[in-house]
Amino acid sequence: MSRIKGGVIAAGHGTRFKDKGVETHKALLNVAGKPLLAWTLSQFVEAGVEDLTIVFNEYNAPDCTHYLRENFPNLNVDIIVKTTASSFESFCEVSARIGPHPRLITAIDSIYRRGKLRELLQAAENRPPGAMVLGVTSFIDDEKPLYVELGPDRSILSLGRGKSGWVTSGAYWMPPLALPSPEKFSALRRYLISAIENGTPAYAFDMGKSVDVDHPSDIQTAETFLADIA
């Protein structure tokens, strides 16, 4: 595989945390002694990703950029500062900046076992060049899980049609597909559902246990998980 391009979506406002009185930017929330941003960037470094694009919103960008530059000085990061209307718009911004290259894009709030992004990249090498490879988990503890229907050879038959034993886990290997206008979809999941319905080949990669840090209570879940695998 040629030089790997990575992307991180970190433009959310962390509304569920703010509603509970937590004022820390979501990307800088402390989980087991490190902010979410550090857990995510460390996974990319371990996977050998050399070029990274990350989108922050206008409110978290100063603090997040400072943390990134201080703690990951050798990582080549292209920072986008934009307050986007949806996760799909953030995805489009990152994808446009990366250009016509395959890319590995993750959400900022997913915690999984060390090395899993590297394994996902290795799995993607064995799939057709035009296919998406989505990280999935059988640990279902999300408020609005996106269920994945699997076929032979872990091909993805559909997303979101009904409950199954698998849900997406916030990691996406994407071919350089032409994307619609950001206004077309209200969320990244809507785009992924549509892409598969319209024939884009897609496969699943088992990320093992994966914890989405969407609520304050998820921090304890993530910390317990990290302690168990330490």
Query: Is the pLDDT reported for residue 60 higher than 60?
Result: yes
Query: Is the pLDDT reported for residue 1 higher than 70?
Result: no
> What total of structural domains would you count in the chain?
1
Query: What CATH number does the domain containing 96 carry?
Result: 3.90.550.10
Segment 76-100, tens digit of pLDDT = 999 999 999 999 999 999 999 999 9
Instruction: Decide if 136 contacts 205 (C-beta within 8 A).
Output: yes
Query: Is the pLDDT reported for residue 149 higher than 90?
Result: yes
How many helices (H) and strands (E) the chain has is answered by 7, 13
pLDDT recorded at residue 187 = 97
Axis crossing angle, helix 36-47 with helix 116-124, rounded to the nearest 10: 40
pLDDT recorded at residue 3 = 75
Largest CA distance in the chain: 46
Domain ranges, residue 200: 5-229
Query: Is the pLDDT reported for residue 74 higher than 80?
Result: yes
